[in-house]
Structure 1
Amino acid sequence: MSLSLLFHPFISFHKAHLKLSSSIPTRPISSPQSKVLSIKSLQRAHEQPPPKKPRWENLLSTAASLYPVYVTAGSVLACAKPSAFSWFVSRGPTAYTLSLAFVMLAMGLTLELRDLFRLLMERPLSILFGCVAQYTIMPAFGATVSKSLGLSPSLSVGLILLACCPGGTASNVVTLIARGDVPLSIVMTACTTLSAVVFTPLLTKVLAGAYVPVDAVKLSVSTLQVVVAPILLGTFMQRTFPSLVKMMTPFAPLLAVLAASLLASSIFSENVVLLKSSILSTSAGSGSGPLFGLQGILSGELGIVILSVLLLHFAGFFVGYLSAAICGFKEPQRRAISIEVGMQNSVLGVVLATSHFTSPLVALPPAMSAVVMNIMGSSFAFIWRYINPSDDKNELGS
Structure 2
Amino acid sequence: MALCLRLAPLPSHPKTHRQNSLPRLKNPTFSQPLKLPKLTQIRSLSHNHEQLPVSQEKPRWQTVLDTLASLYPLYVTVGGITACLRPNTFSWFVQRGPLSYSVSLGFIMLAMGLTLDFKDFINLFLQSPFSILFGCIAQYSIMPTSALLVSKVLGLSPSLAVGLILLGCCPGGTASNVVTLIARGDVPLSIVMTVCTTLGAVLLTPLLTQVLAGAYVPVDAVKLSISTLQVVVVPVVLGSYLQSTFPALVKVVTPFAPLLAVLASSLLACSVFSDNVVRLKSSVVGASFAPDMSLFSRIQAILSGELGAIILSVLLLHSAGFFVGYIAAAIGGFKESQRRAISVEVGMQNSSLGVVLATAHFTSPMVALPPAMSAVIMNIMGSSLGFIWRYVDPSDPEHNVKCN
Partner of 2:393: 388
User: Matches of 2:104 and 2:318 in 1, distance apart?
Assistant: 24
1:143-166, CA deviations, whole angstroms, 9 ceiling, x for partnerless residues?
Answer: 111011111111110000000000
The answer to whether 1:397 aligns with 2:403 is yes
Deviation of residue 174 (structure 1)?
Answer: 1.1
Between the aligned partners of 1:134 and 1:188, the Cα distance in structure 2 is 9
Indicate conservation of the 8 Å contact 1:201/1:219, yes or no.
yes
* Aligned partner letter, 1:144: L
Most deviating of 51-60 and 381-390: 51-60
What is the match of residue 10 of structure 2? none
Larger Rg: 1
- The code of the aligned residue for 1:231 comes to V
Q: Tell me how far 1:294 sits from its aligned partner.
A: 7.1
Choose from 136, 152, 156 the match for 1:151.
Answer: 156
TM-score by length of 2: 0.84
Partner of 2:383: 378
What SS class does the counterpart of residue 36 from structure 2 fall into? helix
More divergent stretch after superposition (274-283 vs 168-177):
274-283
Are the equivalent residues in 1 in contact too, given 2:117–2:244 (CA < 8 A)?
A: no
- Gap runs ≥5 in structure 1: 17-48
* Alignment partner, residue 176 of structure 2: 171
Q: Establish whether residue 210 from structure 1 lines up as the match of residue 215 from structure 2.
A: yes
In structure 1, distance between residues paired with 2:98 and 2:402: 43
Identical columns (%): 68
- Once the two structures are superposed, the pairs formed by residues 250-289 of structure 1 within 5 Å of their partners are 250-280=255-285, 286=290
What is the distance in 2 between the residues matched to 1:295 and 1:91?
A: 36
State the AA in 2 paired with 1:184: L
In the other structure, the counterpart of 1:24 is none
Partner SS state of residue 250, structure 1: helix
- In structure 2, the partner of 1:77 is 82
- Residue correspondence of structure 1 range 207-356 to structure 2 within 5 A: 207-280=212-285, 286=290, 296-356=301-361
- 2:39 maps to 10
Picking from 172, 184, 188, the partner of 2:189 is 184
TM-score, length of structure 1 as denominator length: 0.85
Please name the residue that 2:105 is paired with.
Answer: 100
Deviations 1:119-162 (A, max 9, x none): 10111111111100000000011111101111111111000000
1:397 to partner: Cα distance: 3.1
Aligned counterpart for 1:200 among listed residues 205, 212, 217 = 205
Moved over 6 A (4+): 291-294, 392-396
Q: State the Cα distance separating 1:279 from its structure 2 match.
A: 3.7
Greater Cα shift, 143-152 or 241-250: 241-250
CA shift for structure 1 position 69: 2.8
Question: Which residue number corresponds to residue 34 of structure 1?
Answer: none
RMSD: 2.7
Aligned match of 2:24: none
Q: 1:159·1:365 contact (CA, 8 Å) conserved in 2?
A: yes
Say which SS state the counterpart of residue 307 (structure 1) adopts: helix
- CA shift digits 1:230-258 (9 cap, x unpaired): 11111121222222111111111111111
Q: Indicate conservation of the 8 Å contact 2:172/2:345, yes or no.
A: yes
